[in-house]
Amino acid sequence: MKTFTPGFLAAAAHADLGATLLRELGKVPSDELWIQGVRESYMQPFGVYDPTASKKYFSLDSATIREICARNPTLKMSDFLLVRKGKTDLHRPYLVVNSSISGPFNNAPFKNPEPLAVFNYTPLGIGSAVPLNPVFRSDNGQTNTGQIGGGFIEPYAFGAFAPKVAPSNCLKGDGPSICLPLKMPKEPFSIGDASGTSSSAFVADLTALPLFPKLQDLSPKQTYWQVPRIDSLLPQGEKYIFGDGGNLENLGVITLIQRNVNKLVVFINSDKKLNAAYDTIKNPTPTAKDVSSDILTLFGVSTNGSKDIKNNHIFPESDLNDLMAQFVKAKKNGRSIIANTTHSTMENDWWGIPEGRVVDIVWVYNDNATDYLNQLEREIRDQIILANGFPSFEDFPNYKTIGEDALRLVQLSPKQINLLYQFSAWNVYSNPGKFEILKEK
């Protein structure tokens, strides 16, 4: 397979983002460069972005838009892209795009560890649930106590200046909300803005580089203010830097638990192969040499470079033993590396998670399975197993996010993509029993 048919979703992994960034360099504002690259590379081929048209807001469905337009007569239905357009879309998962707040732009660069906070983009609300007042320490010694979180605002209003009028109680949708009169933002915050911001992993590094301050201009920025309560003072807006949600929590587990989701399927797509020699008896606490560090931080295990995510401890460390035992057993037996676990949450004030919430998780670890390799044609199987002389499959299925194929930034070849998506599908369809918890109420 050398090319993909138009509209084939997996083709997005073959998009040449690097070439797009070079082409747009100097044509768009610095803090829009990465976002523009994401729009053109991953959204334009699927009709979600049109460079010849005005940017559009995004929302959930037609009913939501009609209600918004009734409150805001200057808006019209055609100003929005919808996540769900009709009855056939009802079973699509609810879209939650994870980002993180790095800090006020005027205070960058920041000293590590940075008090990163989660930030969500969804079709019905943008923001962060827990009100936080993190202290951002600038490299020049100044400090700034931020005001973030506290709730969500509708996506079309994100980027507006802070409110000048106190909020009031009102009814919207299925429950109580607060209503705020706001001046509309200068331009719409689009789904491309959300996706581009949520993938800008470089922000965590740029905001800690005192020697190259101009590089911080590449970080996505937006006017932001803490959502006020009825009895609180009006917030002050400030230009904040936003970055990849993976800079804080790469799996999305904590965000879902925040939303009271108690049955999760977690796909760990890491470039870290599982250590099949790991012994849960001799070494009760695994390290980043044994398994993806994205898992470890959830159980309170520190890893190199994990200072920015020191607040992610939500499960008892003792639960790791059972998870790792299931992982290792599956890998040794040549099966898909899938584990079923149940956890009771630990109290975490930073994330607003209470103690004792019971969560069932299906963990799917992306690593080779002999059962799968044995079903492949011999020529392909030998290329994967031998690796030498076959660079396309040398790291299969643990491809790097950046730089897997020399200087291609994040681009994978059609061969790599084809084999990877088929392996991922095989993992799920070959193990229906592992996903039975999703049927339980």
In the chain, domain spans: 54-247, 251-441
Where residue 305 falls among pLDDT bands split at 50, 70, 90? Answer: low
Instruction: List pLDDT tens digits, range 309-362.
Output: 778 999 999 999 999 999 999 999 999 999 999 999 999 999 999 999 999 999
Cα 439 to Cα 433: distance, rounded to the nearest angstrom: 11
CB-CB contact of 122 with 96 (8 Å): yes
pLDDT value of position 438: 85
Mean pLDDT of 264-278: 95
- Element housing 128 (H / E): strand 126-128
367 bridge partner residues: none
**Alpha carbon 100 to chain centroid, angstroms:** 9
pLDDT value of position 253: 96
Mean pLDDT of 207-235: 83
pTM: predicted TM-score of the whole model, two decimal places? 0.91
**Alpha carbon 127 to chain centroid, angstroms:** 14
Q: What are phi and psi of 169, to 5 degrees?
A: -70, 145
Of residues 230 and 273, more confidently modeled: 273
pLDDT value of position 176: 63
Mean pLDDT of 136-150: 87
Give the strand order in the sheet containing 337-344: 263-268, 358-365, 337-344
pLDDT value of position 403: 86
- Element housing 338 (H / E): strand 337-344
User: By CB neighbour count within 10 A (0-12 exposed, 13-18 middle, 19+ buried), where does 318 fall?
Assistant: exposed
Cα 206 to Cα 156: distance, rounded to the nearest angstrom: 28
Instruction: List pLDDT tens digits, range 160-203.
Output: 999 998 888 886 655 568 888 899 998 999 999 999 999 998 88
Instruction: List pLDDT tens digits, range 400-434.
Output: 988 888 778 889 988 889 999 999 999 999 999 99
Where residue 439 falls among pLDDT bands split at 50, 70, 90? Answer: confident
pLDDT value of position 177: 80
pLDDT value of position 386: 75
- Element housing 200 (H / E): none
Whether cis (ω within 30° of 0) applies to the bond prior to 210 is no
Say which amino acid occupies 110. F
pLDDT value of position 87: 73
- Element housing 386 (H / E): helix 378-386
Nearest Cα residue to 243 out of 95, 101, 39, 128 = 101
What is the dihedral angle through the alpha carbons of 216, 38, 309, 424, rounded to the nearest 10 degrees?
A: -160
pLDDT value of position 2: 63
Cα 173 to Cα 337: distance, rounded to the nearest angstrom: 42
CB-CB contact of 28 with 160 (8 Å): no
Where residue 307 falls among pLDDT bands split at 50, 70, 90? Answer: low
**Alpha carbon 156 to chain centroid, angstroms:** 20
pLDDT value of position 116: 85
Instruction: List pLDDT tens digits, range 365-402.
Output: 999 999 999 999 888 888 887 765 556 788 899 999 88
pLDDT value of position 178: 84
Instruction: List pLDDT tens digits, range 100-139.
Output: 998 898 888 788 777 888 999 999 999 999 999 989 888 8
Largest CA distance in the chain: 70
Distances (CA, A) of 379 to 302, 353, 417: 42, 50, 17
Instruction: List pLDDT tens digits, range 225-250.
Output: 999 988 888 999 999 999 999 888 99
Instruction: List pLDDT tens digits, range 16-69.
Output: 999 999 999 999 999 999 999 999 999 999 889 999 888 999 999 999 999 999
**Token reading at 256:** 């879902």
Q: What are phi and psi of 117, to 5 degrees?
A: -130, 145
pLDDT value of position 55: 92
pLDDT value of position 435: 94
Q: What are phi and psi of 82, to 5 degrees?
A: -110, 140
**Token reading at 13:** 């992994």
